[in-house]
Amino acid sequence: MKLVRTELWAALNAGLGVAALALTLFANPYQPAIAQGAPSPTAKTQSAPATYSDAIQVLAHEQSDAEQYAVILNRFGKKDPSRYVQGIARYAEAKADFDGLIEALKTDLIEGRDPSASPKLSEALRAAAEKRIGFTTFVTDQVVGSTEGARGVLPNEISVIPDLVKALTDAGISVWKEYAAAGKQRRDEIRDQLDHLKWKPFADIAKT
């Protein structure tokens, strides 16, 4: 919640009115329209990461897609201040859960715990997938909608929760295997690389 409030105040400082902010805070913006069922014909799927580089690519792709959706929110969402701040809140929630997922994975690596047998990581994976899909679905349906020329710039991301959970789980297992076989210097490099896969704050994206 603290991260969400930080993002909202950053939006306020960027020029949104107090009234719009207040409307959003009381509108319960945390119920995402999450795609639970079968993927659409254009939905993206990913093969299971077979190597460490594949795993990092999955996580980097998620980071890049989420930040691109945030750019699109910033570009097309300002015409509706209430919806714009809802989008910022959703991004902050998704960022918090994805950053938390990376921290949970790092903890399992340090403690030598297999991610596939980690209940805490399993919960973090599910939460991260739900919030990311909730955010990107919100931008697609509520911000972009039928805006002419906007849908063509949307990244083609995984849009079904079980598929994203599987991709992230497989990525975590591949990272763990690489870490388990590595020496101290390589392990330090892996943890540092994971830290660089955390999402940017929305306020930073809005400045670009």
Q: What is the residue whose two structure tokens read 């945030």?
A: 70
Higher pLDDT, residue 148 or 13: 148
Residue-wise pLDDT for 81-105, tens only, equals 999 999 999 999 999 999 999 999 9
Residue 187 tokens read as: 């392990």
Q: Please report, for the chain, the start and end positions of each structural domain, with discontinuous segments joined by +.
A: 2-36+46-207
pLDDT at 140 over 70: yes
pTM over 0.85: no
Per the structure block, which two tokens stand in for 109? 């690596």
What's the CA gap between 129 and 166, in Å, rounded? 10
At residue 150, what are phi and psi to the nearest 5 degrees? -85, -40
